[in-house]
Amino acid sequence: SADIAMYHAKANGRSNFEFFHTEMNIRAAQRQLVACNLRRAIEHNEFVIHYQPQIDLSTGRLSGAEALLRWKDPLLGLVYPNQFIDVAEECGLIESIGKWVMRDICTQIRKWLDIGLDAVPIAVNVSALELRNLGYASGVEKILLETGLDPKYLEIELTENVLSQDFATSKLNLDALSELGVHLAMDGFGTGFSSLSYLRRFPIDILKLDRSIVRNINTSDKDTAVVSAAISMGINLNQRIVAEGVESQAQVDFLLDHHCNIGQGYQFSYPLNANAFSRLLHTK
């Protein structure tokens, strides 16, 4: 349909430039709309966290979970992060959303501990933009103190975007968090360009194999080789390896054969709301 629009634009005697210009304005307007709704969502508390179980592959037991943000829009229903995180980053809302996320999760873990459940570590996705703030690590520490939470219950997932932001400040924050006892996980391992330099620069405890390479286990020789090399490297660096996007028993078998200890994916569970996840903790 872009071609048709282009054709009309030319037929009407307008320049290509004008056409793209209009397209861009529409996109900008849509983003503006999402941004306005996000502001309201923060004020009206429209966010919820879902928890996706992580399974110890050798025992089949629950070993942790990843916290995934959802936005309950009154009109649109459940909106997924890929549709709003980048807008939040662009219009300066990611810091307040990130703070809400961290506080909500720590408060939830506190509740689980208070009712006597054997809570598991929860992995939280953090935007590279949040780590540029000098006070980020102390903000997290403050929330841990207020909720009386042992830092071992918290993991922070980073993407390699961290390398393209203010490096010195990000490094200060990550070193401070690591010092506190918060574990750091590298998300999307196997997809980026700078994964290796990243591993040298930050105190990474956990590697998360991206689902785009996990998907091709046993189907593409190249990806199979990349996965097994990534696992060996992580083992040599003393890291825990979590395979993401596990959807079949064949993948589980492969991962076990290659000493990857933890799996996350639809094969085990979809992300669950806090109540459903609590029930899992009850049966643990």
User: Which one of 216, 247, 274, 280 is in contact with ligand C2E (CB under 6 A)?
Assistant: 247
User: Which one of 38, 62, 65, 69 is in contact with ligand C2E (CB under 6 A)?
Assistant: 69
The least CB distance from residue 189 to ligand C2E, in Å, is: 10
Whole-number Å distance between alpha carbons of 196 and 189: 10
Nearest to 205, CA basis, from 179, 185, 187: 185
125 binding Mg ion? (CB under 5 A): yes
* In contact, 255 and 263? CB cutoff 8 Å: yes
> Which residue lies nearer to ligand C2E by CB, 114 or 253?
253
The least CB distance from residue 191 to Mg ion, in Å, is: 9
The least CB distance from residue 122 to Mg ion, in Å, is: 11
Whole-number Å distance between alpha carbons of 25 and 15: 16
> With CB cut-offs between 5 and 8 Å by kind, which of ligand C2E, Mg ion, none does residue 151 bind?
none
Tell me the three state secondary structure of residue 21: helix
Nearest to 212, CA basis, from 245, 259, 236, 247: 245
HSE at residue 137, side-chain half, CA atoms within 13 A, is: 17
Amino acid making up residue 8: H
User: Which one of 55, 68, 186, 252 is in contact with ligand C2E (CB under 6 A)?
Assistant: 68
187 binding ligand C2E? (CB under 6 A): yes
- Binding characters for Mg ion, 227-256, by CB under 5 A (x = yes): -----------------x------------
195 binding Mg ion? (CB under 5 A): no
DSSP string, 207-264: EEE-HHHHTTTTT-HHHHHHHHHHHHHHHHTT-EEEEES---HHHHHHHHHTT--EEE
Burial class (CB within 10 angstroms; exposed 0-12, middle 13-18, buried 19+) of 204 = buried
Part of the chain binding ligand C2E (CB under 6 A), chosen from 10-18, 81-89, 135-143, 166-174: 81-89
**Size of the residue set binding ligand C2E (CB under 6 A):** 20
* In contact, 41 and 95? CB cutoff 8 Å: no
127 binding ligand C2E? (CB under 6 A): yes
> With CB cut-offs between 5 and 8 Å by kind, which of Mg ion, ligand C2E, none does residue 85 bind?
ligand C2E
155 binding ligand C2E? (CB under 6 A): no
User: Which one of 18, 92, 266, 282 is in contact with ligand C2E (CB under 6 A)?
Assistant: 266
- Binding characters for ligand C2E, 14-33, by CB under 6 A (x = yes): --------------------
Amino acid making up residue 201: R
> Which residue lies nearer to Mg ion by CB, 160 or 254?
160
User: Per residue in 26-35, is it b (16+ CB within 10 Å) or e — as a string?
Assistant: eeeeeeeebb
Whole-number Å distance between alpha carbons of 129 and 261: 31
> Which token pair is 259?
């000493």
- Binding characters for ligand C2E, 198-237, by CB under 6 A (x = yes): -------------x--------------------------
The least CB distance from residue 278 to Mg ion, in Å, is: 21
Footprint on this chain of Mg ion (rule: CB under 5 A):
125, 157, 187-188, 244
